[in-house]
Chain A
């Protein structure tokens, strides 16, 4: 079993839809939770960064962490064609600069 599980998709939604992306994990030592966005032929770009359980909102993006269920989510409201990319969840233990474990990524396509 992988430490981090993520549905690879692809996920196709119409413009304006609410998108829900999810990951599960098995390592209870994970404390920092991140979402990265990766466009084709580019490096991943940090979108959201949260510590421990709870919600964090940044514009159209909301990240949720449920440590009791070992489940994290990223919601995108009013999705735009420019949101079409691969979304990678990532997590690490204490000390935000430690080695980060990534999910395999979910490919999202927002149709105009």
Chain B
């Protein structure tokens, strides 16, 4: 597609359940990022994939969070045993190796009840 696609756009889950968020980056973009945006907060870096290199996981807030990127394209962010503080908008972005900034998807709005 022409842009970064994220699904679902909205997700309501019960506390303690696992959720999977999907990101389909722009074709040909080798770098993929996950950020989290909470109400009134800036964008919090979570994880970064670049080509075949080991991902930079330094922003993952706990071991309940994990992400993978299959075949250098689609990425899935998994949150296990969700907590209410996990409620936020999860944004995915991709970029090419020539830089030029990120292209963001519209995000997944996660609500943990």
Interface positions of A (Cβ within 8 A of B) = 4, 6, 8, 32, 34, 36, 41-46, 49, 88, 90, 95-105
Contact = CB atoms under 8 A, between A and B. Distances in A.
B12 to A, nearest CB: 16
A96 B95 contact: yes
A96 B98 contact: yes
B95 A99 contact: no
Interface in B49-98: 50, 56, 59, 91, 93, 95-98
Contact of B95 (A42, A88, A97): A97
Contacts of A41: 106, 109
Interface in B8-60: 30-31, 33, 35, 40-43, 45, 48, 50, 56, 59
A49 B56 contact: no
A105 B42 contact: yes
